[in-house]
Amino acid sequence: MRIVIVGAGQVGRSLQEAFGALGHEVVMARRAPQAAGEVALA
């Protein structure tokens, strides 16, 4: 399943890890585009 999470704070990253571990495709959106690389590498 594809899941979009808006917000890359503690809760967003925790959800990303949990859904990713279950095999879901997770896409994250964030206000600060320059920080997108940090989320992609996390």
Tokens of 17: 């890890």
* Spans of the chain below 70 pLDDT: 33-42
Amino acid 4: pLDDT: 93
Q: Torsions phi, psi of 6, nearest 5?
A: -100, 115
Residue 35: its pLDDT value, please? 58
- Residue 30: the pLDDT is 82
The string of DSSP codes covering 1-42 is -EEEEE--SHHHHHHHHHHHHTT-EEEEE-S-GGGHHHHHH-
The Cα 8–Cα 39 span in angstroms is 7
Continuous segment of H or E residues that includes residue 34: none
pLDDT for position 38: 57
